[in-house]
């Protein structure tokens, strides 16, 4: 990691994330929790801490997401879960082969049952953040749509688990035809605090039109270190998609949502800054590759110069959404 990259690393006390523009050898780093690759620069597939999310980077930079702990990390496997953990933090991964289940809902139920079972036995029981990636997220119609089925299975698998402090989350569609439902999460010995967005209805209260079971996630998690883990955020106001077909307007609505989330988090935790600073990390999921230049320029014009941006070609979970942004505010 370069000195400038190292300097910008801050984070959840005991676990730090960064986006790094270099190939990384995991074997020499005892504190490494996870290496997440997106593009062709995949990392050592034999290391249990490496995972690949099949979403193409479209800004020409094949960044690697690096999670490091403050102390040494042990890696192991329990049932369907492979994980690495320090004394304070856990990073865990479940990959479910959809072909072994009747549909993506059943696969999600199995994945989340495994997650809950694992967390029950863990000494890092507090879920802070969950990421979900699977193929063809908007395929199927009505209640058969794969995202709606996923939401049903996720809720069944989660049951009553951590209902009062839902973690932040992302659920994004790949286009690689792979049958693997990928779920990974960050957990801690200390609980975080769920943060909702005053401009948006909480996803777990979405009305019936979006599916038989509402999505189970919080808009963000405030860690005990004052860091804000941002869920996937899109051009949703109240519960409705705004600016159908207009990526620029959707981007600006998304930025207003992120701003509202930051203001709200700051109001309850003044240690969490009001505005994005240079240490923020944002991951942009973009439906149409050809919108990348516009989105990149608008983001650079509206955010602090040093923010690390990773732009990925992806499907968003509503077919009318063109862009979604998640990340870390610190």
Total residues at interface with ligand 3EB (CB under 6 A):
12
Interface with ligand 3EB, residue 317, by CB under 6 A: yes
Binding residue for ligand 3EB, selected from 217, 221, 230, 312, defined by CB under 6 A: 217
Q: Which of 162, 231, 250, 254 binds ligand 3EB (CB under 6 A)?
A: 231
Instruction: Compute φ and ψ for 132, nearest 5 degrees.
Output: -130, 130
Nearer to ligand 3EB, 223 or 231 (CB): 231
Report the largest interatomic distance among the alpha carbons of the chain, rounded to a whole angstrom. Answer: 50
**Measured distance CA(116)–CA(190) in Å, rounded:** 17
Q: Closest distance between ligand 3EB and the C-beta of residue 140, in Å? A: 16
Token digits of residue 130: 């969950």
Q: Which residue is nearest to ligand 3EB (CB)?
A: 232
| Residue of 96, 203, 261, 314 that binds ligand 3EB (CB under 6 A) | 203
Stretch that binds ligand 3EB, among 62-70, 84-92, 227-235, 304-312 (CB under 6 A): 227-235
Distance in Å, CB of 215 to ligand 3EB, minimum: 4
Q: Which of 18, 170, 221, 223 contacts ligand 3EB by CB under 6 A? A: 170
Kindly tell me which residue out of 24, 171, 195, 295 binds ligand 3EB, with binding defined by CB under 6 A. 171
Q: How far is the CB of 287 from ligand 3EB (least distance, A)?
A: 13
Backbone φ, ψ for residue 120 (5° rounding): -60, -30
Residues 236-265 that bind ligand 3EB (CB under 6 A): 236
- Give yes or no for residue 197 binding ligand 3EB (CB under 6 A): no
Output the smallest distance, CB 327 to ligand 3EB, in A: 12
Could you tell me whether strands 240-241 and 228-234 are parallel, antiparallel, or unpaired per DSSP bridges?
unpaired
Minimal distance in Å, beta carbon 50 to ligand 3EB? 23
Question: What are the φ and ψ backbone dihedral angles of 290, each rounded to 5 degrees?
Answer: -70, -10
* DSSP letters spanning 254-289: HHHHHHHHHHHHHHH-TTS-SS--TT-EEEEEES-G
Can residue 232 be called a binding residue for ligand 3EB (CB under 6 A)? yes
**Segment near ligand 3EB (CB under 6 A), from 84-92, 98-106, 228-236, 265-273?**
228-236
Q: How far is the CB of 9 from ligand 3EB (least distance, A)?
A: 25
Residues 12 and 189: beta-carbon distance below 8 Å: no
Give CA angle at 261 (259, 264), nearest 5°: 110
What string of DSSP letters covers 292-319? Answer: HHHHHHHHHHHS-TT-EEEEEE-B-SST
CA distance 117 to 79: 10
The DSSP 8-state label assigned to residue 203 in this structure reads: G
Contacts 24+ apart (CB under 8 A), 298-301: 298/248, 298/251, 298/252, 299/251
Q: How far is CA 100 from CA 107, 171, 179, in A?
A: 8, 21, 10
- Minimum CB distance to ligand 3EB smaller for 49 or for 129: 129
Nearer to ligand 3EB, 42 or 204 (CB): 204
Which one among 169, 182, 303, 310 touches ligand 3EB, defined by CB under 6 A? 169
For the bound state, the minimum distance from the C-beta of residue 309 to ligand 3EB, rounded and expressed in Å, comes to: 18
Q: How far is the CB of 326 from ligand 3EB (least distance, A)?
A: 7
d(C-alpha 72, C-alpha 44), whole Å: 19
Dist CA 170 CA 325 (whole Å)? 9
C-alpha to C-alpha distance for 202 and 285, rounded to whole angstroms: 21
Stretch 104-133 residues interacting with ligand 3EB (CB under 6 A) = 132
**14 vs 327, which CB is nearer to ligand 3EB?**
327
Interface residues with ligand 3EB (CB under 6 A)? 132, 169-171, 203, 215, 217, 231-232, 234, 236, 317
């Amino acid at each position: 990691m370069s000195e400038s990259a190292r300097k910008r690393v801050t984070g959840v006390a005991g676990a730090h994330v960064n986006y790094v523009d270099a190939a990384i050898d995991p074997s020499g780093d005892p504190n490494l929790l996870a290496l997440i690759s997106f593009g062709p620069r995949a990392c050592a597939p034999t290391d249990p801490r490496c995972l690949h999310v099949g979403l193409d980077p479209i800004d020409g930079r094949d960044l690697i997401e690096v999670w490091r702990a403050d102390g040494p990390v042990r890696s192991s496997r329990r049932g369907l879960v492979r994980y690495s953990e320090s004394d304070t933090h856990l990073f865990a991964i479940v990959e479910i082969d959809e072909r072994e289940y009747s549909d993506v809902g059943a696969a999600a139920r199995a994945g989340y049952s495994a997650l809950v079972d694992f967390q029950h036995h863990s000494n890092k029981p507090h879920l802070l953040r969950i990421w979900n990636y699977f193929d063809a997220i908007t395929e199927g119609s009505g209640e058969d749509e794969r995202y709606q089925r996923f939401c049903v299975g996720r809720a069944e698998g989660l049951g009553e688990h951590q209902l009062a402090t839902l973690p932040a989350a992302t659920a994004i569609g790949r286009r690689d035809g792979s049958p693997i439902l990928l779920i990974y999460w960050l957990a801690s010995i200390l609980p975080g605090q769920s943060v909702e967005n005053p401009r948006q209805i909480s996803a777990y209260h979405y009305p019936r039109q979006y599916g038989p079971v509402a999505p189970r996630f919080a808009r963000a998690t405030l860690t005990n270190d004052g860091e804000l883990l941002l869920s996937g955020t899109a051009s949703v106001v109240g519960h409705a998609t705004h600016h159908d077909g207009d990526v620029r307007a959707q981007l600006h609505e998304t930025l207003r949502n992120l701003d509202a989330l930051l203001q709200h988090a700051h109001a309850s935790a003044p240690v969490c800054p009001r505005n994005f600073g240079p240490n923020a990390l944002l991951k942009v999921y973009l439906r149409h590759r050809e919108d990348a230049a516009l989105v990149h320029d608008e983001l650079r014009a509206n955010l602090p110069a040093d923010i690390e941006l990773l732009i990925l070609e992806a499907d968003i979970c509503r077919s009318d959404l063109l862009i979604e942004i998640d990340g870390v505010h610190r």
